[in-house]
Structure 1
Amino acid sequence: MTIRPVDQVPTTDPRSLSLVDLTACLELADNREWPYEDRKWDFLLRVGQGYGIADAAGKLAASAVLTRFGGLAAISMVLVADRYEGRGLGKRIMRHLIAEADDSVVTLYATSNGRPLYEKLGFQAVSVCEVILGRFTAAAPNTTRLATAHDLPGILKLDAEVLGVDRTHVLTRLSEYADRIRVVERDGAITGYAAASRAMSTQDHVQVGPVIAQDEADARALIADLAEGGRIRLDLDPRQPDLLAWGKENGLEVLFQATSMVLGGVPLPGDRTRLFAPLLQAIG
């Protein structure tokens, strides 16, 4: 019987990743059987700061992305190659990102696999996210309209009110990532907006998010107008039971559940009663 030698755990500090490392990130994701989300990785490496740990052969052994918005920082894409699983790389890269976030409120979405590590590092669950996917059957009310470049100031103002931070550097790139963006306008002011985006080039569905609206009726209108009868994914908080039930009644089925966590359990900024779905779990 041949015994496979144990790979030596990398001892180098995490280094910054850039778009040059996109292929390596995708290879690492594939190693952990994550989807080939090339457009999502590209977007995150542009609006956030990626970090990675390489092994002796120069292969990416661990990764994570930190996206900062003033006093808020989101951690995402935390991956460790299977050959180094359980050997401390996840904890090491997480501690590096927490240090980089400085005194910001640090948040992330956790799967059941990642949650034990995050809890050991001091993260506390604040809510649950139900991921639902399918061909959306509700008719589009056509009460929203496609966004234009002139809507950006209004979108930025609304987003800052709801999230409690300035996400200009992300939202100015949203049109590059999103297939389409729609808005609700009343009395000349943007009161709601939502986007539909594909995480991978060949994806057969779009993820609808963010969904920001003054009430659930406008949130439903934005979602239905963006869906256009196609396959969509929605990440919804079960604390919005009517919206979740509406999605399920219209062809969407539960795919998986994730947990929203915050370091130290401190309150998130903003008026999140108007946030019906995040842009991405990676960003919030």
Structure 2
Amino acid sequence: MTIRPVDQVPTTDPRPLSLVDLTACLELADNREWPYEDRKWDFLLRVGQGYGIVDAAGKLAASAVLTRFGGVAAISMVLVADRYEGRGLGKRIMRHVMGEAGDSVVTLYATDKGRPLYEKLGFQAVSGCEVLLGGFTGTAPHTTRLATADDLPAILRLDAEVLGVDRTHVLARLPEYADRIRVVERGGAVTGYAAASRAMSTQDYAQVGPVVADDEADARALIADLAAGGRIRVDLDPRQPDLLAWGKENGLEVVFQATSMVVDGTPLPGDRTRLFAPLLQAIG
């Protein structure tokens, strides 16, 4: 019987990652059987700061991405290669990234597998997340319109009002990442917006998010107009039971769940009642 030698745990400090490391990030994700989200990684490495721990063989052993806006910092893409699982790399890179966040309110979305680690680091659950996926069977009301470049200032103002932070550096790149962006306009003012994007170049469905609107009726209209009879994913808060029920009634099924967590349970800024879906769980 051949006994596989135990890989020596890397002792190097986490280092910044850039787009040069995109292939290494995708290889690490593949090692953990994550999907090949090439467009999502590219987007996050442009709007946020990635960090990684490299082993003696020059391979990426652990990763995390920190996306900061105002006084809020979102952590995502926390991965440890399977050969180092349970050997402290996850905690080490999390502590490093949390240190880089400084005094920001630190938030993330956790799977059931990752939640115990985050709880040990001081994160507390603040809400849930139901991931719905499927062929949308509802009727598009056509009460929203496609956004134009001229709408960006209004979208930035609305997003800052609802999220309580300035996300200009993220949303300025949204037109590059999103397949399409739609807005609700009333009285000449943009009162809601949503985008549909693909995390993978080969993805056969679009993820709808963010969805920012004054009320649930406008949120439904934005989702339906973006779906237009196709396959979509949308991440909804279970505290919006009517919206969840509407999604299920129109061809969508819950495929997995996550938990929104914040260090010490600190309330996030803004009027989150008007945020019906995050841009990505990686960003909020």
Q: TM-score, structure 1 length as denominator?
A: 1.00
Report deviation, 1:143.
Answer: 0.4
Q: What is the CA–CA distance in structure 1 between the aligned matches of 2:63 and 2:253, rounded to whole Å?
A: 30
| Secondary structure of the corresponding residue to residue 204 of structure 1 | coil
Q: Show the counterpart of 1:70.
A: 70
Report deviation, 1:179.
Answer: 0.1
Report deviation, 1:264.
Answer: 0.8
| Residue identity opposite 2:17 in structure 1 | L
Report deviation, 1:239.
Answer: 0.4
2:261 counterpart of 1:261: yes
* Aligned residue pair count: 284
Q: What is the CA–CA distance in structure 2 between the aligned matches of 1:156 and 1:51, rounded to whole Å?
A: 28
Unaligned runs of 5+ in 1: none
Q: Show the counterpart of 1:193.
A: 193
Q: Show the counterpart of 1:109.
A: 109
Q: Show the counterpart of 1:231.
A: 231
Report deviation, 1:189.
Answer: 1.0
| Secondary structure of the corresponding residue to residue 39 of structure 1 | helix
Report deviation, 1:166.
Answer: 0.1
Q: What is the CA–CA distance in structure 2 between the aligned matches of 1:198 and 1:34, rounded to whole Å?
A: 15
| Secondary structure of the corresponding residue to residue 229 of structure 1 | coil
> Cα deviations across residues 3-55 of structure 1 (Å, max 9, x unaligned)?
11000000000000000000000000000000000000000000000000000
Unaligned runs of 5+ in 2: none
Report deviation, 1:70.
Answer: 1.1
Report deviation, 1:184.
Answer: 0.3
TM alignment of 1:209-248, pairs within 5 A: 209-248=209-248
Superposition RMSD on alpha carbons, in Å? Answer: 0.3
Q: What is the CA–CA distance in structure 1 between the aligned matches of 2:185 and 2:228, rounded to whole Å?
A: 20
Q: Show the counterpart of 2:2.
A: 2
| Residue identity opposite 2:265 in structure 1 | G
Q: Show the counterpart of 2:169.
A: 169
TM alignment of 1:70-149, pairs within 5 A: 70-149=70-149
| Residue identity opposite 1:213 in structure 2 | A
Q: TM-score, structure 2 length as denominator?
A: 1.00
Q: Show the counterpart of 2:25.
A: 25
> Cα deviations across residues 108-167 of structure 1 (Å, max 9, x unaligned)?
000000000000000000000000100000011000000000000000000000000000
| Secondary structure of the corresponding residue to residue 128 of structure 1 | strand
Q: What is the CA–CA distance in structure 2 between the aligned matches of 1:124 and 1:238, rounded to whole Å?
A: 17
Q: What is the CA–CA distance in structure 1 between the aligned matches of 2:119 and 2:196, rounded to whole Å?
A: 32
Report deviation, 1:188.
Answer: 1.3
| Secondary structure of the corresponding residue to residue 245 of structure 1 | helix
| Secondary structure of the corresponding residue to residue 138 of structure 1 | coil
| Secondary structure of the corresponding residue to residue 8 of structure 1 | coil
Q: Show the counterpart of 1:178.
A: 178
Q: What is the CA–CA distance in structure 2 between the aligned matches of 1:53 and 1:167, rounded to whole Å?
A: 28
Report deviation, 1:187.
Answer: 1.1
Structure 1: which 4+ aligned runs deviate by more than 2 Å? none
TM alignment of 1:40-51, pairs within 5 A: 40-51=40-51
| Residue identity opposite 1:81 in structure 2 | A
Q: What is the CA–CA distance in structure 1 between the aligned matches of 2:249 and 2:188, rounded to whole Å?
A: 33
| Residue identity opposite 2:49 in structure 1 | Q
Q: Show the counterpart of 1:279.
A: 279
Q: What is the CA–CA distance in structure 2 between the aligned matches of 1:237 and 1:182, rounded to whole Å?
A: 21
Q: Calculate percent identity across the aligned residue pairs.
A: 89
| Secondary structure of the corresponding residue to residue 259 of structure 1 | strand
| Residue identity opposite 1:258 in structure 2 | A
> Cα deviations across residues 185-233 of structure 1 (Å, max 9, x unaligned)?
1111110000000000000000000000000000000000000100000
| Secondary structure of the corresponding residue to residue 268 of structure 1 | coil
Report deviation, 1:260.
Answer: 0.1
